[in-house]
Structure 1
Amino acid sequence: ESVFWLRVEGAHSQPSIQTIQEQLGSLAGVSDVRGSLQECAVMVTYRPLLVTQQALKEHIRDLGFSSWSLADAALSCWQEVSSDWSAHSVTLCIAGMTCSSCSSSIQERISQMGGVKSIAVSLSDGTATVTFDPRLTEAELLQAAIEEMGFEASVQECANGRLSPNRTRRTTVENGVGPQVTRRPEVRTQRCFIAVTGMTCASCVGNIERKLRSHGGITAVFVSLMAAKAEVTYDPDSIGAAGVARLIEDLGFGATVMDQAAANPGLLELRLSGMTCASCVHKIESKLRSTPGVMAATVSLATNRAQVRYHPEAVGARDLLAIIQDLGFQAELEKTGLKQNLDHSKEILQWRNSFLLSLVFGLPVMGLMVYMMVMDSQMQNHGGAMPEDQNLVPGLSLLNLAFFLLCTPVQIFGGRYFYIQAYRALQHRTANMDVLIVLATSIAYVYSCVVLVVAMAEQAQQSPTTFFDTPPMLFVFIALGRWLEHIAKSKTSEALAKLISLQASDATVVTLGPDGAVLSEEQVELDLVQRGDVIKVLPGGKFPIDGRVTEGSSTADESLITGPGEPMPVSKKVGSLVLAGSINGHGALLVEATHVGGDTTLSQIVRLVEEAQLSKAPIQKLADRLGGLFVPFILVVSLLTLAAWLLVGFSHFHLVEQHFPGYNQSISRAEVVRLTFQASITVLSIACPCSLGLATPTAVMVGTGVGARNGILIKGGEPLEMAHKIQAVMFDKTGTLTNGVPRVTRVLVLWEPARLPLRKILALVGTAEASSEHPLGVAVAAHCRQELGSDLLGCCQDFQAVPGCGISCRVSNVDHLLVQEASRDGSSLVPEQEGPAPGASSVAGPDLQLTPSGESYWVLIGNREWLRRNGHRVEADMDAAMASHEAKGQTAVLVAIDGTLCAMLAVADTVKAESALAVQTLSSMGVQVVMITGDNRRTAKAIAAQVGIGKVFAEVLPSHKVAKVQELQEAGLRVAMVGDGVNDSPALAQADVGIAIGTGTDVAIEAADIVLIRNDLLDVVASIELSRKTVRRIRINFVFALIYNLLGIPVAAGSGAFLPVGLVLQPWMASAAMAASSLSVLLSSLLLKTYRKTPAEFYEARARGHTRSLRSSQISTHLGGVDSVQPCPAL
């Protein structure tokens, strides 16, 4: 391996350095990347056979940065810096660990934190020793992370790892800029997804989670009832994905390992044929492992399966298939997709069959029951006994024999599934809904058989009353309820299924000749498309990948991905980006694949929605706890009911006789036992933990699906629930309230053209700003390139950018841009040149001395404070000129060249059309709206006045946006932060709900809780509205669940409060009520699908006459970090 040092231009924040580290680290052949924000440099350890230095530089350039190799003289400085990175260690005392699962969970969580090099957890000593990089984390953050897991932690010994007095709730701000982005951990754990069938309630979820967590090799478990899926993190040295599935199957549930390759683009699972012996295995493995870009390859002769880990940038899935086929074997992708797990077709068929079987025997039972009620009424009016009560043999009536023959097949065949599930649950010392059903039907069946045998043995003259009618009726209603329940569940995941259906199944890959002509076409499976492939998309076809158009022109319908509201198809031409799943318009296109497989926008949306539906809302935790205690509670209530009615029946027989009269208004004392069993069985039949367990996840699943359909991606149940509590929304200005595409509106030159040509100023300023990543700098550089008529500018060295202040650098090699100076002066640049300005001589002095041609120039560009800190004086007339632009919402920046103040540039960023309407709508909803920006107070107040925001934080450095969010939180407000840039990500993470614009940076989107696919601020309103409707629906669901249980259980138990009004339930009635409770919750959640995002026209009509721009005096402006912000450093 070799080591390569690179200076990176433009990486002025920790997220920028982190992005470079992660992107370079993902390249084939790169084994380690370390970055220094202080030196703006990275150190790369790589294998020259797999990747070159030039490729590393080009990859950095593709990320938007420029780079060059460090000279030998700089290496010593780098090594000095690197030497400061000596690893620190801390020993933490941890209380609350009870088993190896606890220690494994802590080890898994802490090892994933950025900067953690190693961790050793001792269960016996109750300690954890952590070695970490002090530049990336600190001891207090490690302690806080452990405490967040529910353990108590304290620092026992800290070697060089200082404890910071301040703690950030969800993210750490490093070096005064941006968040600490979690580094890719080098841990041994792996993650798998298991499709689980057979779960019916929250107790099933709890049983699976407890069983898996008790295994020493499993570190984390998340089980979703509605998604019918488990996400498991495990140690591959202790257990595999198949072993996890077997543990779940041991509990009586169906378990299938889902496609791991879909979650990991660098993992390929293949089905092989043609292997005959171990030499075939060795042949395939050795060939694959010798292929550049392949990290590992494992082939199993017994299962004819192969698993390959590879770098997608270096080699593709189609290449690997071709390698195996060239060896003489057949290979195809192993497919276990997500779509088949969403339709619940297997469960629907199973419960339909179970219902029909129970119905075949249940209908005659129902007919006999109706007949008995009719005949009972006649016997009461006319006296006498029913013919069916005549005994065939002493103690056995014709009616009881019929009931026995109809009940037994249902009990054996219809109840088989329930008995298996209940047995496995009890085997693991747990109880669920199946246990209650089995107890109710078994007690009814066994009791009936026993009393019949006793009556026949005693040759009783009258056959006893039995409960043979109870099991068929119970199974009919339970099977019907679960059949309808799974149909409803399939509807709740409909939104995710529709997203998946947008994906094309294959793609037409074309081969191009040297002249760009198509030489051949090939249909390949979508999973085999590789980055860099050229795809042909016909009119009306779906784009299978994200890519860039290389030939042709057309339009694309992207509304299925971005959500409704796109008024027109999006034009696509050479250079345009296309999204997978969007539909091509009228023209054929050739598209170069830039993102394939799991990296496409559509795949990421699907994954995000899927993970959101897998997550649990905070309110669900209460339901899970109740569900875990529910079954034992019901068993206790059933036993107490049995004991109470036995006591009451024999001590106060007149009560039983009064409320449970038999034929001829009489009842014998022997019937007391039957009535007590009836009440006890009815309690078991009516109790339903399923409705409690379904109340939250069904609403969350439908809510996140509806959000995705409307272009709002919500990352789980917690932000979906939290958004309805939002009391304040803080908007970033640039790119959020404004369009984020500023343009230069004026160039004010302070000297005559003969003394300082405008073209020279533009050449120097454009070269300097070309290295800036700030939106204003990008706009200035673009303007200079356009006016100079050249994309190639000069050379920039010693570039430094200070957030919130400005930039400085040394510029050279601009002479080639000045060749046409004479011909271009007086053309398009003249309207922008307004010099000399009044008082210009007093600003810069009478003599202007510039460096001779061919030399380098020292350039400063920034705000007043930046120029003052570097020894420049801004006179009153210049300040007034800047203030006049700032009052219009424009940003004014000053330019100094070689120590002389030379020009002022005014840059304007237009306000989005919907910004004022969104602010007005949020205010009408009772939400406080705040704007935060690093811009000066005048510009900030001007923008705030346009959109109607009354509170502004201006001149806030990126590192202090978090403090402003905390300030509002400390005032007792629930805060949502809306932003789009890297510098917004700490505040997005700190806020109670972070909302990122989908067109923003990856870091911002990663830090946010909600992502708006469309760049529309009214979607902020829609996300809060959707949250409120979802939480309201969850509460309604809990009302339904609690009504059935809180009222049904006392009625079923024969409570004295209900007996006087004649409320006495039979077991079959209770089972019908139990099925209705789950079904009502599901149907209630499905009502969320009727939600439609309120159109902008409605808000406009409601706001008409109320929206008005604010005056400057009405805006409260607070300067960011007055007490804590360090001044811009002088150079």
Structure 2
Amino acid sequence: MTNEYGADRCLLDDSLLAPRSSATTRKRDSSPSPSHSSIGKSSNETKGPLQTAVISIKGMTCHACVNNIQDTMRSRPGIHLCKVSLDDAEGVVVFDPSLWTGMSVAESIDDMGFEAKLKYTQEGDHISIGTSPTRRKASISIKGMVCHACVNNIQDTVSKRDGIFSVVVSLEEEKGDVVFDPSILTAEQVVEAVDDMGFEAKLLSCEVAKNGGAILKSPKSQPKESSARFSSKTEMVEVSMGEPSENVEFGNENLEKCTLAVEGMTCASCVQYIERNIAKLRGVQSVVVALIAGKAEINYNPSLISVEKLIAEMTALGYRASLIDSPFSAFNKIHLTIGGLNGEADVNRIESHVISKTGVEGCNVSLATSLATVEFSPSVIGPRDLISVIESLGYTAELATRDDQMKRLDHSAEVRKWRTTFLVSLIFGVPVMLIMIVFHWILHTPMHPENQTPIISPALSLDNLLLLLLCTPVQVIGGRYFYVASWKALKHGTANMDVLIVLATTIAFTYSILVLLIALVLRWPSSPMTFFDVPPMLIVFISLGRMLEHKAKGKTSEALSRLMSLQAKEATLITMDNEGRVTSERGISIELVQRNDLIKVIPGAKVPVDGIVVNGQSSADESFITGESMPVVKKPGSVVIGGSVNQKGVLIIQATLVGQDSTLAQIVRLVEEAQTNKAPIQQMADRIAGYFVPCVIFLALLTLVAWIVIGYMSKKYEHMTPTGRFEGVMKVAFEAAITVLAIACPCSLGLATPTAVMVGTGIGATNGILIKGGEPLETVHKVTTVIFDKTGTITEGRPRVISVLTLRSPLDIPLKMLVLICGSAESQSEHPIGGAITAFAKQWLRDPTWAAVSRFHVSAGHGVSCQITGVRKSLDSITQVNGPVLSEGEEMVISDSSVIHKQVSCMPTLKMKREDDSY
């Protein structure tokens, strides 16, 4: 992509990178494409009934796209009719069901470079040629859009309302055209729907919509009957479909999506377990769980299941879940801490008064936590208004300090937990290792009882007693997190890595205690072989791995955390009188900023929210959004982006987009969604991990049985006593089985791909590259050619001087002195062009000593002014320059113009007054 400032940004989309399907390589019929006058005819003979598919097609920009789709599809065998509407962004295709399905038709159009999605198919061998119902088109002026994310948000949200046929929004024209059913909606309701999203919408005109092509109707408004009739005498074919049958291939019209924060996941088995169980719930269409991001995105039917039910089911599975975001909601949510609550009467009073206010969707006050959660429309009422309502009732209210988004990216608590477990296990594990070295490896006490040191009884040796005392704290304290997690998993009929660890340590610990008790009761002549060393050693290394794992997760989240930290924490709210004078000024939290607030932005400060400049002139660094290193001049009427840095001058802006509607918040949301989306290889890894643990347990049991059989069949233990032979065989068998349990960890399967995706998308976002998920990253290595839509050249992102042209000067200043003066003056400037001039002067004059600069002043959009002294002294230190000396009218080319760089030719206008050695 190329922005207006010449900077390059790259958006990797799976629709561009996905390999072409076989449909694109299918040979076309050798017969010529049918003409427009004969589209009702079909050269394809079919004996069975036809089917009609209604397909949503996005990405068409002109009628050439329409003709391309129609001509290509009509030329394919089995396609009897294809009619596409550019205004409605939909197409109607009549096809032979023995050769095509609705899905394959949509995929065929999608392979042509458009975003095609099957809405529904209609069976029947008769399709009537009807006329379109009366539809009206409302042209709406939409102010406040700053990027294409706003456009997509409006189109996606408004198109989901009943009675809406199509929505086309233009960012450049700040206008939208909405075709709707006047029997369901009015033009004013359409305008209100756009306005409720936080934009300034105004109705321009409303007229009867022209029927240009197929009549594309949503399934909810279709007539009950359908039949077919083709005519070869007319060029204009209008198709109307009846209501789709019960067997609909796609029914996404009523689906909504919610995002839940999920805590307690440890490996890919947890991911597979959650996805499998939540997907079984009635009303849930799909579930995608991201292990590292700690999120779950669920598409569900709100008429069958609620978000609260989903959270409850997630909690019942043993994980802590909370709602992060519901993108289909047009309301913002705020949390307020209430003071002065004494009983349920106060709760009911606050809730009733707040809900009665226009623009408030819901209010819930918790007496136990003194926390109020309010859903409201930011275009009607704001956070400060809500606080005023509560305070007018005699209570205190302030914004709750909640930063759930940053908290989810912070893994410090988990790191501390596993560090403590690791240290406790290490304190007891090191002595265990020393005892093993001395008693088992040097003295060989298990095989040589005469080397044992008996305590109380010969059946209890000193080494086994010490191992028991050291192992017990590790098993109880260090292993408690594993026991809790494994119990939750087993309670719901699944197994994860924690189950493997608990099995290995518990079996070893329990077996060792039992064999010691048996030896004491039966008064064995020597102390038996035990496995007390297994729990400390295993828990030490596993807890160390968990600690390093969460540190890695924290590192992968740093890029997104830095992106979120660009948001200002506070804003300076001002009020102005009719004459433009500031009457009051106070600092407020960024969450309390409302639409149409007047905000003051001082030099060097971050712009708090998206808005429009109403007073002042300055420049702003918007590189984090546009990738453009050049500051952008801001003057009254200019749009500013929240998170950009104000350079010079004070700005008064009017807030337009606040909270989750801001540009920065939408970028963060896009990056989070990209990190949640799974690459195909990750989905395969998650499926394998789901069966991994049961297979490992089965293999461990098989290993145990196999080595017991081998041990008793081996001649190695024939010379031993029955007790000694039993111990020898069980030692080898238990070591082999426990080793299988200990080393088989599915965590690497589930962590490798999401870690790579999270790092890639996060670093890309900080560098202006938005990557839409893991699939583009997985398929990008197949790309052999990248085409940049850029007028001119690919840029480096920083300007530099490429040529110098000398002109006549009334002061008759030598070129060397002129370059020294320019370099000295611009050395005080932070502007990129000033930096380019300084860098050129420094290189051309061979690193000179700059002249003294005073009275330096920057005027945004007009340059700099200053006083320079000591020019001749600095000039005397310059013996030679890197380049020829120019005469009047000559030009010196600094770099070859064929080199692909951002080339900025700057010819500064100098107004100088000479006073001795001062300029």
What TM-score comes out, normalization by structure 2 length? Answer: 0.61
Q: Which amino acid aligns with 1:328?
A: G
Q: Which amino acid aligns with 2:667?
A: I
1:313 aligns with 2:379: yes
Please name the residue that 2:653 is paired with. 591
Among 632, 656, 664, the alignment partner of 1:570 is 632
1:638 aligns with 2:694: no
1:475 aligns with 2:539: yes
Cα gap change, 1:679 to 1:287, in 2 (>3 Å): same
Matches within 5 A, 1:610-649: 610-649=672-711
What are the Cα deviations for residues 771-795 of structure 1, in whole angstroms up to 9, with x where unaligned? xxxxxxxxxxxxxxxxxxxxxxxxx
Please name the residue that 1:96 is paired with. none
What are the Cα deviations for residues 1062-1086 of structure 1, in whole angstroms up to 9, with x where unaligned? xxxxxxxxxxxxxxxxxxxxxxxxx
Report the CA distance between 1:715 and its aligned residue. 1.5
What is the aligned-residue RMSD (CA, Å)? 4.8
Please name the residue that 1:361 is paired with. 428
Cα gap change, 1:318 to 1:135, in 2 (>3 Å): farther
1:67 aligns with 2:124: no
Q: Which amino acid aligns with 2:783?
A: I
CA distance in 1: counterparts of 2:514 and 2:177, whole angstroms? 85
Please name the residue that 1:342 is paired with. 409
Matches within 5 A, 1:812-827: none
Report the CA distance between 1:323 and its aligned residue. 2.2
CA distance in 2: counterparts of 1:238 and 1:57, whole angstroms? 28
What are the Cα deviations for residues 455-513 of structure 1, in whole angstroms up to 9, with x where unaligned? 21221111111100110111111111111111111001110111111111121111111
Matches within 5 A, 1:348-427: 348-372=415-439, 375-376=442-443, 388-427=452-491
Report the CA distance between 1:326 and its aligned residue. 2.0
CA contact (8 A) 2:191 2:203 kept: no
Q: Which amino acid aligns with 2:741?
A: L
CA contact (8 A) 1:509 1:524 kept: yes
CA contact (8 A) 1:289 1:297 kept: yes
CA contact (8 A) 1:25 1:31 kept: no
1:463 aligns with 2:520: no
Instruction: Give the 3-state SS of the residue equivalent to 2:690 in structure 1.
Output: helix
Q: Which range is displaced more, 604-613 or 324-333?
A: 324-333
Instruction: Give the 3-state SS of the residue equivalent to 1:426 in structure 2.
Output: helix
Instruction: Give the 3-state SS of the residue equivalent to 1:675 in structure 2.
Output: helix
Q: Which amino acid aligns with 2:395?
A: F
Among 252, 270, 275, the alignment partner of 1:204 is 270
CA distance in 2: counterparts of 1:473 and 1:625, whole angstroms? 30
Among 699, 719, 723, the alignment partner of 2:756 is 699
Instruction: Give the 3-state SS of the residue equivalent to 1:331 in structure 2.
Output: strand
Instruction: Give the 3-state SS of the residue equivalent to 1:395 in structure 2.
Output: strand
Query: What percentage of aligned pairs have identical amino acids?
Result: 43
Report the CA distance between 1:373 and its aligned residue. 5.5
Among 293, 299, 302, the alignment partner of 2:359 is 293
Instruction: Give the 3-state SS of the residue equivalent to 1:359 in structure 2.
Output: helix
Q: Which amino acid aligns with 2:354?
A: L
Report the CA distance between 1:345 and its aligned residue. 1.6
Matches within 5 A, 1:112-131: none
CA distance in 2: counterparts of 1:325 and 1:311, whole angstroms? 20
Report the CA distance between 1:624 and its aligned residue. 0.8
Q: Which amino acid aligns with 2:433?
A: M
Please name the residue that 1:1006 is paired with. none
What are the Cα deviations for residues 21-54 of structure 1, in whole angstroms up to 9, with x where unaligned? 9859989xx99766699x9775597999997999
CA distance in 2: counterparts of 1:737 and 1:508, whole angstroms? 39
Please name the residue that 2:119 is paired with. none
Among 746, 751, 775, the alignment partner of 1:718 is 775
Q: Which amino acid aligns with 2:204?
A: S
CA distance in 2: counterparts of 1:59 and 1:641, whole angstroms? 65
Among 669, 674, 693, the alignment partner of 1:607 is 669
Report the CA distance between 1:729 and its aligned residue. 5.2
Please name the residue that 1:434 is paired with. 498
Matches within 5 A, 1:555-954: 555-563=619-627, 566-654=628-716, 668=725, 670-727=727-784, 736-738=789-791, 911-912=792-793
Cα gap change, 1:236 to 1:318, in 2 (>3 Å): farther
Cα gap change, 1:585 to 1:695, in 2 (>3 Å): same
1:495 aligns with 2:632: no
CA distance in 1: counterparts of 2:564 and 2:388, whole angstroms? 28
Gaps spanning 5+ residues in structure 2: where? 1-133, 169-175, 225-237, 797-894, 901-919
What are the Cα deviations for residues 182-218 of structure 1, in whole angstroms up to 9, with x where unaligned? 9xx5x4x665433323222110111122232333354
Among 139, 143, 156, the alignment partner of 1:8 is 139
CA contact (8 A) 1:404 1:468 kept: yes
Q: Which amino acid aligns with 1:287?
A: H
CA distance in 2: counterparts of 1:64 and 1:33, whole angstroms? 17
Q: Which amino acid aligns with 2:436?
A: M
CA distance in 1: counterparts of 2:190 and 2:522, whole angstroms? 98
Cα gap change, 1:469 to 1:533, in 2 (>3 Å): same
Gaps spanning 5+ residues in structure 1: where? 71-76, 90-114, 120-132, 147-181, 739-910, 916-1099, 1106-1131
Instruction: Give the 3-state SS of the residue equivalent to 1:704 in structure 2.
Output: helix
CA contact (8 A) 1:218 1:235 kept: yes
CA distance in 2: counterparts of 1:624 and 1:363, whole angstroms? 36
Please name the residue that 2:127 is paired with. none
Please name the residue that 1:527 is paired with. 591
CA distance in 2: counterparts of 1:548 and 1:448, whole angstroms? 74
CA contact (8 A) 2:360 2:381 kept: yes
What are the Cα deviations for residues 134-164 of structure 1, in whole angstroms up to 9, with x where unaligned? 8899969995547xxxxxxxxxxxxxxxxxx
What are the Cα deviations for residues 385-426 of structure 1, in whole angstroms up to 9, with x where unaligned? 675443530311011011111111211222122112112211
CA contact (8 A) 1:511 1:518 kept: yes
Report the CA distance between 1:681 and its aligned residue. 0.6
Cα gap change, 1:6 to 1:431, in 2 (>3 Å): closer
CA contact (8 A) 1:542 1:581 kept: yes
Cα gap change, 1:639 to 1:649, in 2 (>3 Å): same
Report the CA distance between 1:538 and its aligned residue. 1.4
Report the CA distance between 1:264 and its aligned residue. 5.9
CA distance in 2: counterparts of 1:699 and 1:386, whole angstroms? 56
Instruction: Give the 3-state SS of the residue equivalent to 1:502 in structure 2.
Output: coil
CA contact (8 A) 2:567 2:608 kept: yes
CA distance in 2: counterparts of 1:356 and 1:452, whole angstroms? 28
CA distance in 2: counterparts of 1:47 and 1:301, whole angstroms? 42
Please name the residue that 2:259 is paired with. 193
Instruction: Give the 3-state SS of the residue equivalent to 1:394 in structure 2.
Output: strand
CA distance in 2: counterparts of 1:512 and 1:137, whole angstroms? 59
CA contact (8 A) 1:87 1:134 kept: no
CA distance in 2: counterparts of 1:234 and 1:58, whole angstroms? 27
Report the CA distance between 1:442 and its aligned residue. 1.0
Report the CA distance between 1:57 and its aligned residue. 12
Please name the residue that 1:101 is paired with. none
Report the CA distance between 1:548 and its aligned residue. 2.0
Cα gap change, 1:649 to 1:715, in 2 (>3 Å): same
What TM-score comes out, normalization by structure 1 length? Answer: 0.50
Cα gap change, 1:302 to 1:628, in 2 (>3 Å): same
CA distance in 1: counterparts of 2:186 and 2:166, whole angstroms? 23
CA contact (8 A) 1:4 1:53 kept: no
In the alignment of these two chains, the number of paired residues is: 641
